[in-house]
């Protein structure tokens, strides 16, 4: 097997305070020094497989076909959770624990096939007595072998039914009259915007255009966290510093932000299926 690009991209919740990420890089380079290794992020919130799932969905499409992603957010490390490699319908590979990390890719891109990692073949020699760093010993090693062409997809291990992938609950957007409802999908931890799962096309169906006012209601398990009328804007600077706005994000969904501030910190918001959002066209 010959992988054309030899691209390997790492994601984890390990942070950058010590050598775990560097060890994964080193193991991969030991497989093939010609690999081109990149980091997606190592600042996924600890144990947050929802955020890991969204991050892959947000990023995969930008990379060439055959890119291998290694995603290690693994609160069940060493347990009986499965270690897998998924091949997406777009032609990327994702090496990960099967713990919900494939949710958004499976929903929005599609998973063509999955194989369970055979650790008798695809594991760093001498690591068998340790069960707490599969990111290095199993996932980085397997991802590197796949990206380098040492193994092909079949060489990962036995087939795993795609229908058995562990998935987080996803609530699809719903249009009802002048309203559309959905969920808060993810936050931008640096700038403090929040992204919804509501596509730009839903606003078009409501007849909303830039400059219109939109009622925004954010609800968490029956408690209203935010209820205001906001302008639907082309960009952040369309409102004064410190004001809130609704806008189109870069992956085709609706976002909410504070110009030159953090909407998330200001209103103490989180994400996932229990954080629901409503947008209503104001007549």
- Tens of pLDDT, residues 95-148: 999 999 999 999 999 999 999 999 999 999 999 888 889 999 999 999 999 999
At CB < 8 A and 24+ separation, what contacts does 41-44 make? 41/11, 41/12, 42/10, 42/11, 42/12, 42/13, 42/14, 42/15, 42/16, 43/13, 43/15, 43/16, 43/189, 44/11, 44/12, 44/13, 44/73
Give the per-residue pLDDT at 78. 82
Mean pLDDT within 62-91? 95
What's this model's pTM, rounded to 2 decimal places? 0.92
- Tens of pLDDT, residues 148-203: 999 999 999 999 999 999 999 999 999 999 999 999 999 998 999 999 999 999 99
In CATH, what class is 174-281?
Answer: mainly beta
User: Is a pLDDT exceeding 70 seen at residue 2?
Assistant: no
The architecture of the domain spanning 7-164 is 3-Layer(aba) Sandwich (3.40)
Mean pLDDT within 9-24? 96
Domain range summary for the chain, segments of one domain joined by +: 7-164, 174-281
């Amino acid at each position: 097997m010959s992988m054309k690009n030899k691209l390997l991209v790492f994601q984890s919740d390990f942070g950058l305070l010590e050598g775990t990420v560097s060890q994964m890089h080193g193991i991969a380079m030991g497989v093939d020094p010609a690999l081109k290794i990149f980091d997606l992020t190592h600042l996924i919130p600890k144990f947050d497989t929802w955020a890991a799932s969204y991050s892959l969905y947000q990023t995969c499409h930008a990379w060439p076909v055959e890119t291998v992603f290694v995603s290690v957010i693994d609160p069940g490390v060493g347990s009986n959770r499965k270690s897998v490699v998924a091949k997406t319908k777009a032609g990327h590979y994702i090496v990960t624990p099967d713990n919900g990390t494939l949710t958004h890719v499976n929903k929005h891109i599609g998973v063509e096939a999955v194989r369970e990692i055979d650790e008798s073949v695809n594991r760093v020699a001498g690591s068998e007595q340790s069960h707490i760093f599969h990111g290095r010993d199993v996932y980085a090693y397997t991802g590197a072998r796949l990206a380098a062409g040492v193994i092909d997809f079949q060489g990962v291990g036995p087939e795993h039914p795609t229908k058995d992938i562990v998935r987080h609950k996803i609530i699809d957007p719903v249009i009802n009259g002048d309203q559309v409802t959905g969920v808060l999908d993810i936050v931008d931890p640096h700038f403090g915007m929040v992204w919804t799962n509501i596509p730009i096309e839903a606003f078009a169906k409501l007849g909303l255009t830039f400059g219109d006012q939109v009622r925004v209601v954010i609800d968490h398990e029956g408690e209203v966290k935010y209820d205001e009328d906001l302008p639907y804007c082309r960009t952040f600077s369309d409102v004064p510093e410190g004001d809130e706005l609704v806008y189109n994000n870069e992956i085709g969904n609706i976002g909410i932000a504070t110009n030159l501030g953090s909407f998330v910190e200001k209103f103490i918001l989180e994400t996932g299926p229990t954080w629901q959002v409503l947008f209503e066209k104001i007549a």
